[in-house]
Amino acid sequence: MGKETPLFDRDLSWLSFNHRVLEEAADSSVPLFERIKFLAIYSSNLDEFYRVRVASLQSISGESEGADKNLLEEIDSLVQVQQEQFGEIFLHQIIPTLRDEGIRLNLNGNFPRTWADDLRRYFMDKVVHLLHPTLLKKSMVRPFLSNGSLNLLVELHSRRPLKNANSVRKPKYALVGIPDSLPRFFQRSDGLGGYDVVFLDDVIRVNLGLLFSGYTIVHVHSFKVSRSADLGIEDEFEGNLVEKIRSSLSKRKEGVPSRFLYDEEMPAAMLGFLVRYFKLENGEPVPGGRYHRFSDFFGFPNPFSPRLERPFPQPLSVPALDSYSTMFEAIKKRDWLLHFPYQKYDYVVEFFNQAAFDPKVVEIKATQYRVAPNSAIVQALINAARNGKRVTVFVEVKARFDEELNLLSAQRMEQAGVRIIYSHPGLKVHAKMCLVTRKSRNRKRLRNYAYVATGNFNEKTARIYSDQGYFTSDPEVCGEMEHLFRELHKPTGLWPFKHILVARYNLVEEFKRLIDNEILMAERGLPAGIYIKMNNLEEEGMIRHLQTAAEAGVRVRVMVRSICRLVPNGIEVRRIVDKYLEHARVFCFENAGNPRVFMGSADWMGRNLFNRIELVIEVRDSQWSKELNDVMEIQWRDNLSARKLKSDLSSERIALNGEAVRAQTAIYDFLRDSSQSS
């Protein structure tokens, strides 16, 4: 191989992805309320980026000067440019378009005086009892600014007469938190078919005089603090990890400030007081507008719903699968591939429910990474244990931001008799898998039924994440999954898997072997191609292997949603951002005209390949292998929502040569037509 191509920085690559999200908000062809949601997604993503990645870089750069310091400066510069674009989109595109549709978002307190009674009534009925205004004095305990909370800093002047002409009136400052328990937006009809919307912030602002009688309100400005999401577990390898995580969850809310966002109109003296009083010197100060936390725009009211939105189509049934009386009968007959959210996730829930009540089922094993609140799958596992089944669930308690929910669901299952295996120190289990053991018809033999997915056992995210799930009773696959569950109980790292790909065992070696095979095919003049889809492509060794394949004449195509360190030099990289979050990991190898298609949980990041348990399986059934490959090709033909990644990390539209294709619509139509013809 010649001179190695440099790689993108992972954090700058992520920022380019978030900028791609912002581009959707700017696209006038996207329905208005979808554009508003993309603003919310951008804001939510950025806040988590500062809590996780920037907080980590700040911690490192605080200990030493150099590359991390330079990277932080580059991040700040890029984010500043993006924030200016965000403001331009919001103020000059979204708000005027809302107005054209009969929805007036009134900003900066610019609403008619005739509203005063309505706003005061709402304030007194719904808001005032949730407010805890606090005068900020050195002698008092300093209020804690929780992560992401919205606050108003109020400058007050006493109305008492000055003692003499030489006296100087000193300002007082007060803190008013904007309550999270109320909608961020107040909506009212104008009686003529239109609607007015006001930020809750402004409802509070115009009524502050009711809170501070005896004072003149001079300035009111908003601010927000983001805190590090690090749980601060000093030693993951000693003691009870579950108890350490449980006791550390409260500390996350108290993490060190990683970003301090304030109203740029705030006077310098007021800003200086705020920084000193709350000791925000270490937080990254970012000047912004009057309003913060645009992730609240997920809840922006649409009085004309579903107009101005892109509706979710009804998930498809699979008639061939419905023709069987039970999921076990269907899976015994053949493998089944499902595509979410295009097809019903009900089949997965039903698989668990039937396993819970089928008298022939003797054992259920499953992993839990991120489950839905009030999860139907967790309830099915509880029911199974209560019905006398042996149920074992491996619960990953280190799934960031889902630790508490996972601990609570594990506790519920454990109380019902489910055997819970918790995280291993230094190791995450990210595999999405379930194995059900069932007696045969004559009750003399046992048969395994497996489910493997690219997404979590989460019926909530299955409605908005694009994923695949695969049912099989293949004895070779199921047999090795049984060994994998034993490894989760007592990891050895030594089991010789042959029919499934498992990170930290054989996954990296098998993927490299598959790539090498395509290189060999290209050298022999046979059809050779690699087409992979994942969330993140970061691990240098795998990237270099792909580059070697491309140099050898293999056509390499990459569909990556988020982080991509691979510079598109001889390899085309595309990214789809649309209504559904592209979450699947699929790997297609041409193999001289006899394609091999794999799917599973593993991104190609160092953490996934070497520090986690990930599971990838081959789609062996030729019908489903072709179908999954066809779905991938539809995505590659997307010339509306897809963008081509350029060597400067910017995005380029795909040329509209011929038919316009929006993959997420086309896949739904393809699956609907396929099910009707089968």
Secondary structure class of 568 (helix, strand, coil): coil
Catalytic choice (292, 339, 430, 545): 430
Tally: H helices and E strands in the chain: 20, 28
Would you give the DSSP letter of residue 214? T
Query: In Å, how far are 143, 178, 219, 273 from 154, measured between CA atoms?
Result: 15, 13, 6, 12
Query: In Å, how far are 105, 149, 451 from 187, measured between CA atoms?
Result: 9, 22, 46
Burial class (CB in 10 A: 0-12, 13-18, 19+), 66: exposed
Nearest Cα neighbor of 572 from 551, 558, 585, 587 is 558
d(CA 537, CA 527): 25
The alpha carbon of residue 528 and the mean position of all alpha carbons in its chain are separated, in whole angstroms, by 34
Query: If you search the block for the tokens 């060994």, which residue do you land on?
Result: 483
Query: In Å, how far are 29, 31, 235, 472 from 308, measured between CA atoms?
Result: 11, 5, 51, 41
Contact present, 599 and 578 (Cβ < 8 Å): no
Q: Could you confirm whether 132 is annotated as catalytic? A: no
Q: Which residues contact 277 (CB under 8 A, 6 or more apart)?
A: 136, 142, 173
Q: Which residues contact 7 (CB under 8 A, 6 or more apart)?
A: 540, 543, 565, 566, 567
Q: Which residues contact 493 (CB under 8 A, 6 or more apart)?
A: 487, 504, 505
Q: Which residues contact 64 (CB under 8 A, 6 or more apart)?
A: none
What is the H or E stretch that residue 277 is in?
Answer: helix 268-278
Query: If you search the block for the tokens 């109320």, which residue do you land on?
Result: 182
Quick one: CA dihedral 501, 503, 506, 509, positive or negative? positive
d(CA 78, CA 123): 39
d(CA 86, CA 325): 52
Contact present, 601 and 614 (Cβ < 8 Å): yes
Query: If you search the block for the tokens 């309550």, which residue do you land on?
Result: 179
d(CA 26, CA 73): 26
Secondary structure class of 355 (helix, strand, coil): helix
Query: In Å, how far are 3, 11, 13, 569, 646 from 8, measured between CA atoms?
Result: 16, 9, 6, 12, 11
Q: Which residues contact 306 (CB under 8 A, 6 or more apart)?
A: none
Would you give the DSSP letter of residue 432? -
Residue 648 backbone dihedrals phi, psi, to 5 degrees: -105, 15
Query: If you search the block for the tokens 């292997």, which residue do you land on?
Result: 545
Active site residues: 430
